[in-house]
Amino acid sequence: METCPSKTLPVRVGDKWTAMIVRNLESGPKRFTELKEHGITPKVLTETLRAMQRDGLIERTEFDELPPRVEYQLTSLGRAVKELLDHTCAWTREHLPEILAAREANHAGTA
């Protein structure tokens, strides 16, 4: 049996904050404060950005300016994740009624 490489898959690909960051970087580089405007705490944003950088999804660029400026942008690998998000969103739109019905049935069975 062939071993699936999913054990090395970056877990954050399915994380809601990773998806938010990918969507916000689609239009080009952004600063930390621009990404923070979407309701994420600074701690979680920092952790998510570091993980995404470690996995090669984003690139962090420091500019030698006063005050210092740092920007984040998607790499080609990060842009490929955007394609996964697009497919996931399309799948969700197609199957949302089924998902909601299953949740309702499960909730009714546990109440």
pLDDT for 88: 85
Task: Report which secondary-structure segment, H or E, holds 53.
Answer: helix 42-54
Predicted confidence (pLDDT) at residue 90 exceeds the cutoff of 80 = yes
Give the span between the Cα atoms of 83 and 97, in whole angstroms: 23
Phi, psi torsion values for 10, nearest 5 degrees: -65, 115
- Write the pLDDT tens digit of every residue in 44-74: 999 999 999 999 999 999 999 998 899 999 9
Q: What is the dihedral of CA 77, 26, 90, 38, to 10 degrees?
A: 120
Helix ranges, 1-41 (H): 16-25, 32-36
**Which H or E run contains 95?**
helix 76-110
For residue 14, pLDDT over 80 is answered with no
Band the pLDDT of 8: cuts 50, 70, 90: low
Question: With 80 as the cut, is the pLDDT of residue 75 above it?
Answer: yes
What pTM was computed for the model? 0.77
Give the residue-averaged pLDDT of 70-83. 93
Walk me through the domains of the chain, giving residue ranges and CATH numbers. Answer: 5-110 (1.10.10.10)
